[in-house]
Amino acid sequence: MKNILVTGGTGYIGSHTVVELINLGYNVVIVDNLSNSKEIVLDRIETITNVRPKFYLGDIRDREILDKIFDENKIDCVINFAGLKAVGESVRIPLEYYENNIYGAVVLLEEMQKHKVYNFIFSSSATVYGDPTSVPVDETFPTGGTTNPYGTTKLFIERILMDLSKSDPNFNIAILRYFNPIGAHPSGLMGEDPNGIPNNLAPYITQVMVGKRECLNIFGDDYDTPDGTCIRDYIHVCDLAYGHVCAIKKLESKPGVVIYNLGTGKGSSVFDVLHAFEKAYGKPIPYKIAPRREGDVTANYTKVAKAMNEIGFIAKYNIDDMARDAWNWQKNNPNGYEKKND
């Protein structure tokens, strides 16, 4: 499999995956509606790889553009990153989330079937485990109990993919449940560029570091964990990108549906992450303890055995590396992709 269609390929995880794919010799075609990313990402990809991927400005809900893409390119495999992902926003505008994410995936799959493209990789999330009864979680843990519409879109799409696979054995599908991707490309040319106030921990911290935010609010220090803050499995976005290459290789063996958790297997608390960033920064980062955030689970991290044994996936970066690269990106691009320096 050499020709990969990456939907959402100018987004945070998509762009890093595109770089990884190009570096490993794949031909990449991107479709993105730029609802949460910028075209300048293509320049950055080109600077890093010396290759400018073919880009279609378009929406995965638009059958015409998908027909055009599949007609003009021989696609072997589709990686579907396109989707809306803000938990809080999904509570406010659930229908937009269901329409964009679920309907979008359905249209994309229908078009793939029509054009006889049967390899599909889906960006799912650890959120499908809800509040796990114990940690670490593995892929056999029950899914459900999602606490917001965003998470529910992931859960429903997973179910749709299982049903599709049963009905059409031509399909080979990898469902990848990401834990908490953070970090940035080591070049400092690509990274996470959230709109408005960041919802997630790492981009919030880096915005405090560049002086855009006053201090980090730590959402609760009274959880039942060693330091009282929640525990997550942070994974470097470049490791995560490589996980998609492992999945492509797996699909070549025509496995039907396969599911992998992608994380490091190591749980880190909010304070652990803060301290890793302080190490990169060389000085303390201001923070205060704030009330718990609704919907947060105490701890979620993964067992790595299945991904390691079946697809050879091993994360090589630790949280110090993630913090260093995220800081390097933010320092060089204080306003994200908006302006290079100011």
Interface mask toward ligand UFG for 239-278; x: CB under 6 A: -------------------------------x--------
Q: Which of residues 128-187 bind ligand UFG (CB under 6 A)?
A: 151, 180
Choosing from 49, 68, 186, 219, the residue that interacts with ligand UFG (CB under 6 A) is 219
Piece of 48-56, 77-85, 213-221, 253-261 that binds ligand NAD (CB under 6 A): 77-85
> Residue 190, interface with ligand UFG (CB under 6 A)?
no
* Residue of closest CB approach to ligand NAD: 11
Question: What string marks each residue from 139 to 178 as x (binds ligand NAD by CB under 6 A) or -?
Answer: ---------------------------------------x
* Residue 230 within binding range of ligand UFG, rule CB under 6 A: yes
155's contact among ligand NAD, ligand UFG, none, with CB below 5 to 8 A by partner kind, is none
Binds 143, which of ligand NAD, ligand UFG, none (CB < 5 to 8 A, cut-off by type)?
none
Where would I find the H helices in the chain?
12-23, 40-49, 63-72, 87-92, 94-97, 104-114, 149-167, 201-209, 237-251, 270-281, 305-311, 319-332
- Residue 85 CB, shortest distance to ligand UFG, in Å, is 5
User: Which one of residues 19, 44, 59, 117 is an interface residue with ligand NAD (CB under 6 A)?
Assistant: 59
201 binds ligand UFG (CB under 6 A): yes
Q: Is 35 in the site for ligand NAD (CB under 6 A)?
A: yes
264 in contact with ligand NAD (CB under 6 A) = no
Burial annotation 294-322 (CB, 10 A radius, 16+ → b, else e): eebbebbbbbbebbeeebebebebebebb
Query: Using CB under 6 A, which of 293, 303, 306, 331 touches ligand UFG?
Result: 293
The 10 Å Cβ neighbour count of residue 138 is 14
Stretch that binds ligand NAD, among 64-72, 76-84, 89-97, 228-236 (CB under 6 A): 76-84
217: left (phi over 0), alpha (psi -120 to 50) or beta: beta
The DSSP string of 230-276 is: -EE-EEEHHHHHHHHHHHHHHHTT--SEEEEEES-S--EEHHHHHHH
CB atoms within 10 A of CB 223: 19
Instruction: Name 43's bridge partners.
Output: none
Euclidean distance between CA atoms 60 and 45, whole angstroms: 22
* Euclidean distance between CA atoms 99 and 36, whole angstroms: 16
Q: Residue 59 binds which one of ligand UFG, ligand NAD, none, with CB within 5 to 8 A depending on kind?
A: ligand NAD
By beta-carbon proximity to ligand UFG, the closer residue of 61 and 219 is 219
Distance CA 100, CA 93 (A): 11
* 150 catalytically annotated: yes
User: CA separation (Å) from 324 to 215, 321, 330?
Assistant: 19, 5, 10
Closest to 12 measured CA to CA, from 181, 188, 150: 181
The residue from 150, 234, 242, 317 that is catalytic is 150
d(CA 42, CA 44): 5
What tokens appear for 17 in the block?
């995956």
Residue type, 151: G
Q: Taking CB under 6 A as the rule, does residue 261 contact ligand NAD?
A: no
Task: Name every residue whose Cβ is closer than 8 Å to that of residue 95 and which is 6 or more positions away in sequence.
Answer: none
**Contact region for ligand NAD (CB under 6 A) — 65-73, 78-86, 216-224, 271-279?**
78-86
Residue among 4, 6, 8, 120 that touches ligand NAD (CB under 6 A) = 8
Binding residues (CB under 6 A) for ligand NAD: these are 7-8, 10-14, 31-37, 59-61, 81-85, 100, 104, 123, 125, 178, 180-181
Q: List, by residue number, the catalytic residues.
A: 150
